Amino acid sequence: MSSASFLPAASRARRRRPSLRRLAAWLAASASDHKAAPWLVIGFATAHAVLWTFILINLKAAQDVHMDVAEAFAWGQKFQLGYGKHPPLAGWVAGLWFRMFPVADWAAYALAMATLGCGLVICWLIALRVVDYRRAFFVVVLLALYPIFNFKGFKYNPD
């Protein structure tokens, strides 16, 4: 085998690096822009929530939903000012969610991931009080790698 067959792969690798650098430069510029940064964070949180919803649908297809999710669904059937174990907000949110979406496992995972996506945006708003826009976006990206904000976030519960 000649070494000529390895040259195109090396040249393709050189072409990929500048595109990754361009992407990183675009993300840094967008995260630093005061007008584009909120949309970047909202888009990132939405993409994160949708991606992990599909991952959870496939990974948990043979399992039932977590008992805390079923409990929140039960609380959402009647809007009360409090429940036996927790304040009412989790039950109210679950009740409103399952009035808009069908009672299915995928909707429960979507509820959990939508809640985590909102949490990412709220963490970005909190980080803005301490650091600039670019670093606040970096906080959100690192937080999205934290296990509770991805594969362990399948439970929708107030804990």
Q: What is the pLDDT of residues 78-131, one digit of tens each?
A: 888 877 787 888 889 999 999 999 988 889 889 999 999 999 999 999 999 999
CA distances from 24 to 18, 21, 31, 53 (A): 10, 5, 10, 26
48: containing domain: 33-149
Q: What is the pTM of this model?
A: 0.78
Given this model, what pLDDT does residue 121 score?
96
Cα dihedral 8/10/11/14 (nearest 10): 160
Residue 115 covered by a domain: yes
Residue 13 covered by a domain: no
Residue 5 covered by a domain: no
Residue 14 covered by a domain: no
Residue 91 covered by a domain: yes
Q: H-helix or E-strand containing 120?
A: helix 105-128
Quick check: 148 pLDDT over 70? yes
Rounded Cα distance, 50 and 57, in Å: 11
Rounded Cα distance, 76 and 92, in Å: 5
State how far Cα 152 lies from the chain centre. 12
Rounded Cα distance, 144 and 148, in Å: 8
Residue 27 covered by a domain: no
**Which of 97, 108, 124, 112 lies closest to 149, judged by CA?**
112
Minimum mean pLDDT range among 33-37, 39-43, 139-143, 147-151: 147-151
The 10s digit of each residue's pLDDT in 44-85 is: 999 999 999 999 888 877 777 778 888 888 888 888 887 778
- Give how many domains the chain has, as a whole number: 1
Residue 22 covered by a domain: no
Burial status of residue 90 (CB atoms within 10 A of its CB: 0-12, 13-18, 19 or more): buried
Residue 124 covered by a domain: yes
The 10s digit of each residue's pLDDT in 22-49 is: 888 888 888 878 888 889 999 999 999 9
Cβ-count burial 111-123 (b if 16+ within 10 Å, e if not): bbbbbbbebbbeb
Quick check: 16 pLDDT over 60? no
Given this model, what pLDDT does residue 1 score?
53
Rounded Cα distance, 64 and 146, in Å: 24
Cα dihedral 26/32/34/36 (nearest 10): 20
Tokens of 136: 């606040």
Quick check: 10 pLDDT over 80? no
